[in-house]
Chain A
Amino acid sequence: MNPGTAALWVTGLIRHRSPRLLGAAAGIALAVSLVAFLGAFLTTSEATMTQRARSAVSVDWQVQVETGGNVEAIRDQLAHTSGNAAVTGVSLGQTTGLSSTAAASGSTQTTGPGVVLGLGPDYRSTFPDQIRQLAGSPDGVQVAQQTASNLKIVPGDHVTIGLAGATSVMVTVAGVVDLPQANSLFQRVGAPPQSQPTAPPDNVLLLPQAQFSQAFSNQLAQVSTQFHIRRNAPLPTDPASAYTLDAAAARNVEATSAGTALVGDNLGAALGAARADAAYARMLFLFLGLPGVILAALLTAAVIAAGAERRRSEQALLRTRGLSRRALVMLALAETGLLATLGSIIGIAVAAVLARWVLGPAAGANTSTLVAWSVIAALVGVVVAVTTTLLPLRRDLRMGGVLETRRANATGPVDRPPWWLRYGLDLLLLAAAAGVFWASSGNNYTLVLAPEGVPSISVSYWAFLGPALLWLGAAGLLTRLMLLGLRHARPVLERLLRPLAGRLAPAGAASMTRRRPALARAVVLLALALSFAASTATFNATYAQQAEADALLTNGADVTVTFPTGAQPAAGLAQKLGAVPGVTAVEGVQHRYAYVGADLQDLYGVNPASITTVTALQDAYFTGGTAAQVLDRLRVQPDSIIVSAETVKDYQLTLGDTLRLRLPTPGGGPATTVPFRYAGIVNEFPTAPKDSFFVANAAYIAKATGDGSVNTFLVNTGSTGQPAVAARARSLVGADATITDITATRGKVGSSLTSVSLGGLTRIELGYAIVLSVAAGALVLGLGIAERRRSSAILAVLGARRRQLSGLIAGEGALLLVGGILGGTLIGGILSVMLVKVLTGVFDPPPSTMAIPAAYLLSTVAAVAAALAGVALLGGRSSAQRPAVEELREL
């Protein structure tokens, strides 16, 4: 066949079948644009994760000089290692304890063992995020905030550093500092995670290097040296590749130093977490994006199938005129090529606009990866076009002659159910889905496994099977139910149609019963689209709920006012804060310290009856009971105390055991021993650190210690206007307290997954879900109306009124809507539960309940209903625009 014939055919299609072509191309464009956009999102997100991981780390590498190592040789090696932008030495010495005597009272405070750091003059300028000045001068001896609190010292006071086997050294404190990266600063370099200290040392002093060298001149053997390094080696945008590259460089340093230098790879640790998040982002892409692509493909198939009869007739005609099978295939290829090209171009263009809108300039940063994703998206378009155009042709050509093709066009009896229905394939798939879900969501299940130090990460792809099998099985079951219902429910259908179609109801019900395969397919398509919308929206809402819970956990409440431990806020402050416009509730929380054995932990005293008026407590924060149950224990038994799991393990506690804590007196003086009763385990608590801590009844603590003062105020603003309330609070308390609001905290907390523009992704996904749902409903109804133009014309000629014909269309639309909503709700609900469970690693903290986005779901249903009503109205009007006889003449 010469190319001119194919070109002629394509031209004819464009001129005479453009609505069908455009409809099919639009379906392909939907699939292509979704793939391309999600690919762009994935690429940009991974780059953002890598960037965020880099900027979150203050000291990229901490290189520990091992015993026997040549410090200068290692310094030289590190200075010449490629990618090391700055190398600064840090000395670490151990102190037996720090003490100071208050000038006014003469009382002496003593701490336990601690750490003294010797820092070079350029350390703070090289690593500005390591040390935050709280008080005093940055030049000279600095004392950590907790240490200053323990010793009750201020800048200008003297501190004595106890040295084992040597004379103590007295220094003058110039400033008080906070060490935001204390966990990594005091890590045990080279030790596995389980051997790391559970908390940084409580007693820390920072000396200028010269002063440190002088103080530890007789203790050089007990001094260890680290080199803190800032890296500027270019890293790939993909976190996994960046992690591999960085880890390899670190291992290279260790190998080159023959084991005398151990690298604490802080950057690698951050990239390792980011690569796990990147893997989860890819999972989100697959779980949430792939169903949308499949739906778009099904819609395209529906559009193309609508013209199948005419296409078969055309092909039959061409074959009677001598066109070979090969030539027919060439013509179909031409049509496929046209659809794929048109759909891909439109889809990629739409994706580019969406990516620019959601992701901003960052969308175009990694051009090569974006091009790759565009190619993948275009290939998806080709696959959809081939599947929906060429495969049906192949099936038709296998039939043989023209007569068989004619018979295939006949509606035929519908009594024989499809083969998969007869063998119960839908029920088997659902059973398999339940089995896979049960197996993949067990206690030790992890979707993404990214062990530290291991270059590759493992993803449990088979967990996808559960939702995929559920989708297929549920679609099959819904088809079964629709076929069954429509087959046996003709009298019910007739009764339901009568108010709409009047005397046409019996014919309408009979017709719908006979068209049950097509109606079932339409209902299932709409149900799947609505379930996609429901599950995506529910997952995204739950994700947002947990991200907010995480921010609330960190910040404590909408606004938090925190005074230093031991400080006495002004009387009546709670009432003043409560009077600030926008504040709905204020709750004071005691924050003190308590010794259990030699271990100093944070102690939070709360009012269990009212704490939840200002903050949300998730069940996941506690073990052995829900949040409500634990608070009830604190309320009913005031001497109850809930402790960290590590404390239970360290002290072998069982429920009901008495735990005696020594509570230092904030104003000075001997500590008070207070007995508590162990009542449960707390994993997390608003404002509490990640270390071990206690939560107890504030009234009991006040009674036992004689001190009921609170130094933390949690303020509820009803989730709005937090910055304004924080500003007003600042004007009330001045510089005496730290005031934080949740809007600032949101940007800092959470995994790198939350740092990406999930809000934008959510908008796009939910937008696609609405478009797919509306298209599924309107398209199948519209195509059905178009297919039945001849029947409608015949009925009109036989005496059917326009209102009756419109009533038939409305009845079908109502069946579609009700069936779609019921099916979509059921499938979407189960799918949501499954997705939240399978993707549980994405959430921090894990949700105890799902968030149901009622407004979005109602909007989607309303949009679908409006689209169906619009199509029904248009269908009714168009059938009345010209005499029925003209329709019959044309058809």
Chain B
Amino acid sequence: MTSRPQTLSPTAGRPDLPLVRCREATRTFGTGTAEIVAVSAVTVEIAPGDRIALIGSSGSGKSTLLHLLAGLESPTSGTVEWPALPEGADHQRPSAVPGIAVVFQGPSLIPTLDVVENLLVPMQLAGLPTAEALARADDALAVLDLTDLAERLPDELSGGQAQRVAVARALAARPQLILADEPTGQLDTTTGERVIDALVRAADHTEAGLLITTHDPRVASRMRTLWAMHDGELHAVQALATGASA
């Protein structure tokens, strides 16, 4: 991608505020002897424009941390705030904080809606006028080269296409933060790379922050910052040598 993306983020004038701030956030499941600590006292921040890879083995707590950052779940202790997102404090679960788009690992398209209709759903729920929502959907499909698939149903898409449509849905909502949970986990290498390209392109388009959970080092190498989790604890945060763009 060579053109400079439009600056669409509402925090463009206030780059100092983090998109999300997590302080000593802990998330446990179950009680007593059956208690499982999925995330343990994590303190992190994500700023606009960040490109973060969150790596760890299966069961390390990556997805749970992502859910906490998205506002999909509440921490058992500690705090998660969204200083740069005005609606973060009052948002109602189980939906994500407005301004944050989540891309899931598994199929996340509504099977009875076609591609365009799937893209429209979050914008309609946010109250966007239909004409503007359609325009954004068209833009998102164009950015990700998915225009030809506009009227297809999810069952008519390959796994990679479906994931790219999920990314397009995230892009159409013009989020300030994109959180992708193992977006290439069920895809082959080539398709996975195309999905990562789509994610990065989407984030660049809106100058949004991007966090991808993965256990694939090749995916991680595309990001600029690396977080590593193990047994629910964040062990390392480091800048990577290269953070590739699409």
Using CB atoms and an 8 Å cutoff, list the residues of chain A in contact with chain B: 410-413, 503-504, 506-507, 510-511, 514-515, 790-791, 794-801, 804, 883-885, 888-889, 891
Contacts and interface: CB of A to CB of B under 8 A. Distances in A.
A446 B30 CA distance: 73
A797 B105 CA distance: 14
B155 A888 contact: no
B88 to A, nearest CB: 14
Interface string B103-131: 01011111111100100111011110010
Nearest to A796: B94
Residue among B111, B114, B117, B127 with most chain A CB within 10 A: B111
Contacts of B104: 797, 888
B63 to A, nearest CB: 8
Contacts of A883: 72-73, 93-94
Contacts of A885: 67, 72-73, 94
Given A791-B112, A799-B96, A506 B124 contact: yes
Contacts of A796: 94-95
Interface in B57-101: 63, 67, 72-73, 92-96, 98
A213 B180 CA distance: 117
Contact of B112 (A511, A797, A801): A511
B102 interface: yes
B153 interface: yes
Contact of B94 (A504, A511, A884): A884
B112 A504 contact: no
A801 B92 contact: yes
Given A794-B110, A795-B121, A797-B104, 11 more contacts: A510-B112, A514-B113, A515-B112, A794-B108, A796-B94, A797-B96, A797-B102, A799-B122, A885-B72, A888-B106, A889-B63
A510 B117 contact: yes
A884 B124 contact: no
Contact of B95 (A504, A507, A798): A798
A410 B162 CA distance: 14
Contacts of A888: 104, 106, 108
Contacts of A412: 153, 155-156
Contacts of A507: 110, 113, 117, 120-121, 124
A789 to B, nearest CB: 12
Contacts of B113: 507, 510-511, 514
A804 B124 CA distance: 12
B98 A799 contact: yes
A797 B103 CA distance: 10
B136 to A, nearest CB: 15
B50 to A, nearest CB: 22
6 pairs of A and B residues whose beta carbons are closest in the complex: A410-B155, A884-B94, A799-B125, A511-B112, A799-B95, A514-B112
A791 B110 contact: yes
Contact of B124 (A504, A790, A797): A504
A504 B125 contact: yes
Contacts of A790: 107
Q: Is the interface of B mostly helix, strand, loop or mixed?
A: loop
B121 A884 contact: no
Contact of B72 (A410, A797, A800): A797
Contacts of A801: 92, 95
A373 B95 CA distance: 57
B110 A511 contact: yes
Contacts of A510: 112-114, 117
A534 to B, nearest CB: 33
A172 B102 CA distance: 113
A794 B166 CA distance: 11
Contacts of B93: 883
A637 B98 CA distance: 88
B121 A797 contact: no
A503 B123 CA distance: 10
Contacts of A889: 63
B130 to A, nearest CB: 8
A304 to B, nearest CB: 21
B25 to A, nearest CB: 16
A432 B158 CA distance: 47
Contact of A503 (B109, B124, B153, B155): B124
A506 B133 CA distance: 12
B120 A506 contact: yes
Residue among A506, A794, A885 with most chain B CB within 10 A: A885
Contacts of A794: 108-110
Contacts of A511: 110, 112-113
Given A507-B124, A885-B73, A411 B153 contact: yes
A411 B102 CA distance: 25
Nearest to A513: B112
A486 to B, nearest CB: 12
A410 B67 CA distance: 30
A796 B104 CA distance: 14
Nearest to B111: A411
Interface string B191-230: 0000000000000000000000000000000000000000
A792 B121 CA distance: 12
A411 B94 contact: no
Contacts of B95: 796-801, 884
B112 A503 contact: no
Given A506-B120, A507-B113, A797 B153 contact: no
A798 B121 contact: yes
A842 B95 CA distance: 63
A413 B67 CA distance: 34
A502 to B, nearest CB: 9
B70 to A, nearest CB: 9
Given A883-B93, A884-B72, A798 B112 contact: no
Contacts of B121: 507, 795, 798
10 contacts: A412-B153, A503-B125, A510-B113, A510-B114, A514-B153, A796-B94, A797-B94, A799-B98, A800-B125, A883-B93
B72 A411 contact: no
A504 B123 CA distance: 10
A99 B38 CA distance: 116
A514 B151 CA distance: 13
B95 to A, nearest CB: 4
A412 B114 CA distance: 11
Nearest to B126: A799
Interface string B9-40: 00000000000000000000000000000000
